[in-house]
Structure 1
Amino acid sequence: MPLSPTTSARLDHILATGQQKHRLPSVAAGLVRGGELVWSGAIGTVDGRADGKAVDADTQFRMGSITKTFVAVAVMRLRDAGRLELSDHFGAHVPGSPLDDVTIEQLLSHAGGVQAESSSDWWERTPGGDWDALVASGVGPRFRSGRRFHYSNTGYAALGRLLEVVQGRPWFEVVRDELLEPLGMTRTTLRPNGAAAQGLAVHPFADVLLAEPEHDAGAMAPAGQLWSTVDDLARWAALLGGHTSGVLSAETLAEMVEPHHVVDEPGQPWLGAHGLGWQVWNDAGARSAGHGGSMPGFLAMQRVHLNADGGDGPAGEVGDGVVLFTNTTASAALKSLPKELLRALRELEAPAVTPWVAGGSADVLELAGQWHWGPTVETARFVGEHLVLGSPGAGRGSRFRRVGDGADEWVGLDGYYTGEPLRVLRRGDGSVSHLDLATFRFTRTPYDPQADVPGGVDEQGWS
């Protein structure tokens, strides 16, 4: 659904103001809703000069560490295909390095304790060697694996090598064949190809520019080398928003954006975490996921809403997302500009509302209504296909989904009861006696003596 001219004009103004305020040689951005690119804008030129070629949604920029998300999805596809387990040690697949004992899951979530950068020259500005050369340079752990979050570019070099060994071909070929081509991302490449921005540094005290080098980082390339466009990266944002086009299951995507390790900044509240390849943010209850990118000459951001509300954060429609590129080495623009664009989309273009229609089954009425866990009162209701007990997000409230085709086996989806079983117990005549939720008994009246309450019910009853 196209945006109104008023909204598009406001978004264009936000982007232009950000380009001027932050002195960006160029900036290109796009907004995604419902799996589609609904707006894109671009300001500036490929080389930062007034007479240079203007950038647009098809101009390539280096995406930096957003590259890691492609590597992570390719690894998770191997897991889903049964070719490896997240608990596998890296050395079980790629032996002979100091990272042998780190698990694949720890590498994906930056919890392996692996050093942040390579041990040789500044890899982001110098050509790199192969995996053997990287290992020979002395890469290794800084902390005990599993102890804490420690962002590691070297860890993603290892994951790129894992893809090569398991798949038997270069990591980028795996990404291209299994992800880029199925999603129609024809302008995402390992090196610049066609219309591309020049990587630039902007002097901090004068309006002058310095060209940054472009190169092949070799074994370190999986940490941040890919180039892409607004049009292409919008397709990747759509995947993160749930429009996976068959390249990843919804269950695996949900697993990847779960907070696995908190990003702990001393003296600061915990606002961010890392999942399996994806960064996760929590702004006053508004959850979003994505990744930032930084390489000499370039900055990038991809951010997608995971929930629809949440206080003062940039909440909006689930799946609303922003992608943004700029060709400058350092800028505060990424801290504010993507959020401003998302906020404007939320405020100016309310998402379409799907009308409620009756579509439930009357056979669930035997489970709906009040239940008692001991003396406490909980209400069971049905929302779509889910049984909802209590209020998810508060206390032990949770949603449950059916297991199989029957009506008596359910599994928790939220909070304390995630993954825990809920069973419907029936009397001899088939009527519902009580619910057994992870051994806790829920009865229609408090401590119903007919419901086989563990420990029994005092014969004196209530008095």
Structure 2
Amino acid sequence: MTKQELLPSTRRALLHRIATAQTEGRAPSLVAAVVRGGELVWTGARTSVDGHAPDQNVQYRIGSITKTFTAVLVMRLRDEGLLDLSDPLEKHLPDTGVGEVTIAELLAHRGGLAAETPGEWWERSSASLRPELRDVLGEKPFRHPAGRRFHYSNPGYTLLGSLIEALRGAPWEDVLRREVLEPLGLHRTSGQPMAPHAGGWAVHPWADVLLPEPLEDLGLMAPAGQLWSTTADLARFAVFLMRGDDRVLCAESVREMKMPAAVAEFGDAEQTYGLGLGIVRYGGGALVGHTGSLPGFLASLWTCEEEDIATIVLANCTSGPAVATVAAELVRIVAEAEPRIPEPWRPLPDVDPSLLELVGPWYWGTSVQGLRLAAGGEVRLGPLTGGGRGSRFGPNGDGTWTGLDGYYAGERLRAVRRADGTVSHLDVGSFVFTREPYDKNAPVPGGVDPEGWRGLA
């Protein structure tokens, strides 16, 4: 039993959804899990693996979800000061032939590199065919100018894996185990399969028969798609992606990974990409996570912070069930059947009178904005009516705040006081906010007409 057991009707709806996906998608097996409130609250499985029903501890290959683990390692290097995301890769890993492509561009698939490796289909080819980076990149690695557009690149994550190895002086998988898997308790996540694990299958498109898929070691391509995992382990990883863990990566750095870093293509306005994480519009918020596929396997992991839900769906077939859609629908089933209970409102334990003096309406030109004081010293500035610019601001400890999100992310907010100590205006990234529209007693840029407001005959 868990602390947040789902209702029987919700559990049955979840089971019905994955059962339908397994049957209609003709998957040899399909497993799923739901996390809510930081806990694994439901797991489900359909059909068998090696003759027995799969459970939350049976391994499946997770393909490109591996990229998110690789991105976490890169962010750790950044937080330790060993690199900057704006650094060209060649500053730390010379002679790759990718020029000025930055680490951030590689993380967000904006480096312009080819989607796949030259030569044979790397997912079904021996690692011995790619012994060096030049075999992964080829003589002409670029398909687009660097930084110009989003173009998903598996070789780009091979470069990031090699970067990790160069700066850590150890193999990628060893670094991953030491710095991420062990601290988070992901003991059933590995580069090679560990029993019990599912076998990978291809299902004939016109007949209900199977063909085994080869289980290749990806070699240099491992940081792009090598890992095997379970629904239980991925549930723990999903909690980390929603909350952070200072043993691995702080919440602020995880939040940075989830910010859009790649412009969506025309026609794809519902989805974009962060730093190692996909982002899909969902209701008034977003699903953040990653999908994965390798011959014989499909995988999806989505987190929804607005609902505090994460879902995982894994299957052992090359194609068939739309696992990303199924995982998104599991979020919807739980959110609609059991709406999230808001945290109780509680008054602040104390408040600085100088802060309380700042709350209320402010005007940017004639647009009315509201400044609210929140827990932890945060303030929130946003329009009181209609749409417009708004942000949360975190305290800097010196009487100023820095934007955490929205239009003013990274910009400074400060209260400008007169000689007598009273507040003249707010300065937000050079914008002047006043208590009255175009307050003549405040330094509004361009000045205020001395005749003031008037009618028009």
**Corresponding residue to 2:17 among 14, 17, 22:** 14
Does 2:406 align with 1:415? yes
**Corresponding residue to 2:371 among 358, 364, 380:** 380
User: In the alignment, which residue of structure 1 is the partner of 2:154?
Assistant: 153
Q: CA deviation at 1:243?
A: 4.2
Q: CA deviation at 1:136?
A: 7.9
Give the gaps of 5 or more residues in structure 1.
Answer: 309-316
Kept after mapping to 1: 8 A contact 2:314/2:323: no
Kept after mapping to 1: 8 A contact 2:137/2:155: no
Local SS of the residue matching 2:76: helix
Give the stretch that moved more between structures: 283-292 or 52-61: 283-292
User: In the alignment, which residue of structure 2 is the partner of 1:320?
Assistant: 309
User: In the alignment, which residue of structure 1 is the partner of 2:175?
Assistant: 174
Give structure 1 regions of 4+ aligned residues with deviation exceeding 6 angstroms. none
Q: CA deviation at 1:331?
A: 1.7
TM-score by length of 2: 0.92
Does 2:350 align with 1:349? no
Output the amino acid matched with 2:147.
Answer: G
Change (3 A) 1:288 1:199: same
Q: CA deviation at 1:252?
A: 1.0
Output the amino acid matched with 2:30.
Answer: V
Identity %: 48
Kept after mapping to 1: 8 A contact 2:200/2:297: yes
TM-score by length of 1: 0.91
Q: CA deviation at 1:221?
A: 1.3
Does 2:37 align with 1:34? yes
Does 2:230 align with 1:229? yes
Local SS of the residue matching 2:183: helix
**Corresponding residue to 1:361 among 334, 351, 362:** 351
Please list, as runs of the form range in 1=range in 2, the aligned pairs for 1:283-302 lying within 5 A after superposition.
283-302=282-301
User: In the alignment, which residue of structure 2 is the partner of 1:213?
Assistant: 214
RMSD value, Cα: 2.0
Q: CA deviation at 1:186?
A: 0.3
Kept after mapping to 2: 8 A contact 1:97/1:135: no
Change (3 A) 1:350 1:72: same
Local SS of the residue matching 2:332: helix
Kept after mapping to 1: 8 A contact 2:123/2:295: yes
1: CA distance between counterparts of 2:406 and 2:137? 45
Cα deviation, 1:141-190, whole Å, max 9, x if unaligned, reads 11111111111111111111111111101001111100000000000010
Local SS of the residue matching 1:449: coil
Q: CA deviation at 1:354?
A: 1.9
2: CA distance between counterparts of 1:320 and 1:337? 14
1: CA distance between counterparts of 2:191 and 2:412? 46
User: In the alignment, which residue of structure 1 is the partner of 2:79?
Assistant: 80
Does 2:447 align with 1:456? yes
User: In the alignment, which residue of structure 1 is the partner of 2:394?
Assistant: 401
User: In the alignment, which residue of structure 1 is the partner of 2:46?
Assistant: 43
Kept after mapping to 2: 8 A contact 1:391/1:398: no
Give the stretch that moved more between structures: 352-361 or 76-85: 352-361
Give the gaps of 5 or more residues in structure 2.
Answer: none
Kept after mapping to 2: 8 A contact 1:293/1:300: yes
2: CA distance between counterparts of 1:328 and 1:242? 32
2: CA distance between counterparts of 1:399 and 1:97? 41
Kept after mapping to 1: 8 A contact 2:313/2:324: no
Output the amino acid matched with 2:391.
Answer: S
2: CA distance between counterparts of 1:280 and 1:387? 26
Local SS of the residue matching 2:234: helix
2: CA distance between counterparts of 1:442 and 1:97? 50
Q: CA deviation at 1:274?
A: 1.0
**Corresponding residue to 1:329 among 318, 331, 338:** 318
Cα deviation, 1:261-314, whole Å, max 9, x if unaligned, reads 1342x5x241111111111111354311100000000000000114x2xxxxxx
Kept after mapping to 1: 8 A contact 2:362/2:435: yes
Kept after mapping to 1: 8 A contact 2:29/2:48: yes
Please list, as runs of the form range in 1=range in 2, the aligned pairs for 1:109-258 lying within 5 A after superposition.
109-129=108-128, 130-132=131-133, 134=135, 137-138=138-139, 140-244=141-245, 246-258=247-259
Cα deviation, 1:217-261, whole Å, max 9, x if unaligned, reads 111111111000011011111111114353111111111111111
Kept after mapping to 2: 8 A contact 1:98/1:139: no
Q: CA deviation at 1:132?
A: 4.5
Give the stretch that moved more between structures: 451-460 or 251-260: 451-460
Q: How many residues align?
A: 445
Give the stretch that moved more between structures: 245-254 or 357-366: 357-366
Give the stretch that moved more between structures: 373-382 or 435-444: 373-382
Change (3 A) 1:69 1:139: farther
Kept after mapping to 1: 8 A contact 2:202/2:212: yes
2: CA distance between counterparts of 1:193 and 1:227? 8
2: CA distance between counterparts of 1:209 and 1:293? 21
Cα deviation, 1:34-54, whole Å, max 9, x if unaligned, reads 22111111111125xxxx222
Kept after mapping to 2: 8 A contact 1:94/1:100: no
Output the amino acid matched with 1:415.
Answer: G
1: CA distance between counterparts of 2:89 and 2:449? 56
Kept after mapping to 2: 8 A contact 1:241/1:320: no
User: In the alignment, which residue of structure 1 is the partner of 2:64?
Assistant: 65
Change (3 A) 1:60 1:173: same
Change (3 A) 1:355 1:135: closer
Kept after mapping to 1: 8 A contact 2:301/2:324: no
Kept after mapping to 2: 8 A contact 1:118/1:139: no
Output the amino acid matched with 1:111.
Answer: R
Output the amino acid matched with 1:18.
Answer: A
Local SS of the residue matching 2:75: helix
Kept after mapping to 1: 8 A contact 2:293/2:318: yes
**Corresponding residue to 1:439 among 396, 419, 430:** 430
Local SS of the residue matching 1:196: coil
Local SS of the residue matching 2:100: coil
2: CA distance between counterparts of 1:334 and 1:168? 37
Change (3 A) 1:198 1:339: same
Kept after mapping to 2: 8 A contact 1:238/1:244: no
Kept after mapping to 2: 8 A contact 1:134/1:219: no
Output the amino acid matched with 1:397.
Answer: G
Q: CA deviation at 1:112?
A: 0.6
Change (3 A) 1:85 1:263: same
1: CA distance between counterparts of 2:186 and 2:264? 31
Kept after mapping to 1: 8 A contact 2:101/2:111: yes
Local SS of the residue matching 1:42: strand
